[in-house]
A and B are shown apart, each in its own frame.
Chain A
Amino acid sequence: MFNYILRRLAYSIPILLGVNIITFVLFFMVNTPDDMARVHLGDKNVTEEQVEQWKHERGYDLPLFFNTDMTETIFYQKSVPLFLFQFGNSDQGRNINHDISQRMWPSLALAVPTMIVGLLVNISLALLLIFFRGTYLDTSGVIIAVMLMSISGMFYIIGGQFLMSKLWHLVPISGYAYSFDAWRFLILPVVIGVISGIGTGTRWYRSIFFEEINKDYVRTARAKGLSEFKVLFTHVLHNAMIPILTGVVVVIPTLFMGSLIMETFFAIPGLGSYTIDAIQAQDFAIVRSMVFLGSVLYIIGLILTDISYTWVDPRVRLS
């Protein structure tokens, strides 16, 4: 097990290097530091000295890839600290590590409840449909699910904000509080996040259960005289864990990155809105750090998925 994790981690290094090269090419070669300096300094009549000064302060005045001393290039200077999770300063001069450590909490406070409640709701609805499979309840449930997943997620957000906040004044439209009071701001985005996922989620889990329910072991269980309820909850649910885990575990680490859409719509100061703000302000230092962080978390998610297989299915051995 330990060897396996070590090997996977080693394998992730070339991947992260590749990610780094891609973002580097996008951010520094197509868009030269001179362009960036002009964007940030704003005015058209900036002097060469100002541009040089700006580049020098941020370490962008080195050669891009090649130099006699290979450590004296932008690529080396900007990539190596990333692997040590030292994200440095943003182009505006704020410390990115500090920003991330502060902004991850609102992100988690939104993303974790959304995922847990969403998972419970989707799986229960899917089990309900499977329990009544072949009846009108099942058919109409599937049709409603297809309709729900055809509605744009933005409709749920805009509609929810309009109804709950503007018409009925139940919760604030947007914002956040750094105390226990935050629940008032979080409840609407969580509910909307769950509702907008119901269509896709229920259908997906229903198809997983449907595949399981036609297998031989289910027939055996029924032949033993087990009630349909027991068959579903002990046998089918347990065996459907593998495909469910594949989809769920991989996203757990990336919850940390927050949801770009939800956070911007509800003005929650998490990492998602942090990224969007950086994109709109063309602050490439932040975007680069977030891309790197996202990739690391995705790879961790893949490793966790493999480990979780051994946990639900004793036949799987990591080697």
Chain B
Amino acid sequence: MADIKIVVLWTDSLLFLLLGLALFSVFHILKNPYLRSTWREVFRSKISMSAFVILIFYIAVGFLDSLHYRTALSSSTPSSETHYSVEVSSVLDLIFSSVRENQEKTYSAPFAATQLSKESIEQPDGTFKREYPRLEYGGSHLKADLSDKTSDILYRSFIAILWAFLIWGIIFIFVRTKVNKNSDIPWNVALITTGILILCISWLLQMSNGYHVFGTDKVGHDVLYQVVKSIRTGLIIGTVTTFIMLPLAIMLGIMAGYFRGWVDDIIQYLYTTLNSIPSILLIAAAILTLNVYIDNHADLFQTEAQRADMRLLFLCIILGITSWTGLCRLLRAETLKLRELGYVQAAQVFGVSKLQIIKRHLLPNLMHIVLITIVIDFSMLVLAEAVLSYLGIGVDPSTSSWGNMINAARLELAREPVVWWSLAAAFIFMFVLVLAANLFSDAVRKAFDPRGNS
């Protein structure tokens, strides 16, 4: 029985904290009739319902990928202390164990059974012949002349469809029995989206049991596995960054707007200064400094994953520092407006303490701005990660991320034949996530923005 040691990385704990917060807010929303009706508005739209389901699937993958552990190394002497592998794995790795453990030598196309480039292979009679060698894993169960490839793919697709229908059927019956038929929430759309996603997942899993669905990269790693692993990086950059900057932006924004005077002057000075530094240069400077620091203190990190995680967290922090100014300015302006309103003035006259006024009267009325910012920033940050990683100032090169994948595959378009699958896979997965986030954020903005702007 393999012993495991659970590892909680910094970003993992932050992600769990966020999920906890999200669950807590769901309960809060369900209790509050006003919030409930606004959120109902969001989910009444078919597009945003379907976008939400897609986001949930992405989050689920990211969550599975955040449950980290290290397996014990088998030791020869049972009495000695168990040592753990330096490699940190996640639950998602278990699901993809077949493609993760079976590497090829170099590039191979999607669904290929042979390598992309020719090699000299020794024939049984001792001569050498240049030909495309068979892959070690992809399509290795096929016959030598690959005549059964099409039928094998069709057969696997059929099995995948059967599985998908089975799982979807269970969900379908469950949802149908629980949900009121006359509700105005488009449950049908949610079910259809779920069905399509389950079909995709079951097909991909079924296929990756025998093939590299998106081919392999330069060193023979499976591209599908990498692109799925990158989901967690994208989600962390998109969410943790915002939540790091929220306390700062909310506190300073309300203080500037509510207390005015010298407090306002100082806070305004602070954000104008930070704003006037080109943010990409500030990020670059901070990341460079961090690199030097990590190089000088290599002993601080037990495993490579922990070092990469530290860099990811630091990237989130520095992105947060460069992006809190926008929200802070919005909140300041809104607080300036709110503090002159009757109910705040009345509370002041009744002698309610400043802290209470901020907590009871200002904060709840600012939350819609915060929410809109969170959902808008998310897609922007996911896209920014790719650009930063391309420029060499993003996540650690050992972290799977869409930016790193694009960066590595960019020059390969010049090859003959063209290696397009890494780029395509990264762009497709990123596009679906960002599109879903954009559509969902549109609906949230429409429901929560009091100006009712279309």
Spot the interface stretch: A23-31, A65-73, A88-96, A305-313.
Answer: A23-31
The answer to whether A150 and B289 touch across the interface, beta carbons within 8 angstroms, is no
Pick the residue among B289, B393, B427 that contacts A31 (CB under 8 A).
B289
Is B431 within 8 A of A151, CB to CB? yes
Task: Please give, as numbers and ranges, the residues of chain A lying within 8 Å of B285 by CB-CB distance.
Answer: 23, 26-27, 287, 291
Q: Which of A146, A150, A210, A254 contacts B454 (CB 8 A)?
A: A210
Q: Is B293 on the interface with A (CB-CB < 8 A)? A: yes
B80 at interface (Cβ–Cβ under 8 A)? no
Contact between B292 and A31 (Cβ–Cβ < 8 Å)?
yes
Q: Let me know if B275 and A211 touch, CB within 8 A.
A: no
Q: A257: which B residues are within 8 A, CB to CB?
A: 278
Answer yes or no: A113 CB below 8 A from chain B CBs. Answer: no
Q: Mark B266-288, 1 if CB is under 8 A from A, else 0.
A: 00011011111110111011101
* Least Cβ–Cβ distance between B336 and chain A, in angstroms: 19
Which chain B residues (419-454) contact chain A, with CB distance < 8 Å? 423, 427, 430-431, 434-435, 438-439, 442, 453-454
Pick from A161, A275, A294: contact of B277, CB under 8 Å: A294
Q: Which residue of B lies closest to A282 (CB)?
A: B288
Q: How far is the CB of B381 from chain A (nearest CB, A)?
A: 12
CB neighbours (8 Å) of B296 from chain A are 35
- Which parts of B272-316 form the interface with A (CB within 8 Å)? 272-278, 280-282, 284-286, 288-289, 292-293, 296
Interface residues on B, range: 35 or more
Of the candidates A147, A264, A295, the one whose C-beta lies within 8 Å of that of B435 is A147
A287 to B293, CA, bound (A): 19
User: Measured between C-beta atoms, what is the minimum distance from A285 to chain B in Å?
Assistant: 13
Chain A, residues 256-287, CB within 8 Å of chain B (1/0): the string is: 01001100100000000001100110100001
A155 at the interface (CB under 8 A from B): yes
CB distance from B327 to the nearest CB of A (A): 18
Q: List A163-181 residues whose CB lies under 8 Å from chain B.
A: 166
- From B387, B439, B453, contact of A207 by CB (8 A): B453
Chain A min CB distance to B120 (Å): 30
Query: Which residues from chain B contact A260 at a C-beta distance below 8 Å?
Result: 280, 391
Let me know if B427 and A146 touch, CB within 8 A: no
Instruction: Summarize A's interface: helix, strand, loop or mixed.
Output: helix
Question: Are B410 and A207 neighbours in the complex by a CB distance under 8 Å?
Answer: no
A22 contacts the other chain (Cβ, under 8 Å)? yes
Contact A35 B435 (CB under 8 A): no
Residues in chain A near residue B293, CB distance under 8 A: 30
Asked if A298 is at the interface (CB within 8 A of a chain B CB), the reply is yes
**Residue in chain B with minimal CB distance to A35:** B292
Q: Find out whether the CB atom of B277 lies under 8 angstroms from the CB atom of A299.
A: no
Please give, as numbers and ranges, the residues of chain B lying within 8 Å of A5 by CB-CB distance: none
Closest CB of chain A to B444's CB: distance in Å? 14
- Interface assignment of A314: CB less than 8 Å from any CB of chain B: no
A17's closest neighbor in chain B, by CB?
B273
Chain A residue at smallest Cβ distance from B270: A18
Q: Does A316 contact B (CB under 8 A)?
A: no
**Pair A150/B278 contact, Cβ less than 8 Å:** no
10 pairs of A and B residues whose beta carbons are closest in the complex: A18-B273, A294-B278, A150-B435, A295-B276, A150-B434, A298-B276, A30-B289, A279-B284, A26-B285, A291-B281
Binding site for B on A (CB under 8 A): 14-16, 18-19, 22-23, 26-27, 30-31, 35, 39, 146-147, 149-155, 158, 161-162, 166, 207, 210-211, 254, 257, 260-261, 264, 275-276, 279-280, 282, 287, 290-291, 294-295, 298-299
Can you list 14 pairs linking A and B with CB atoms under 8 Å apart?
Answer: A19-B276, A146-B438, A149-B438, A150-B379, A150-B431, A150-B435, A154-B410, A158-B413, A166-B414, A207-B454, A260-B280, A291-B285, A295-B277, A295-B278
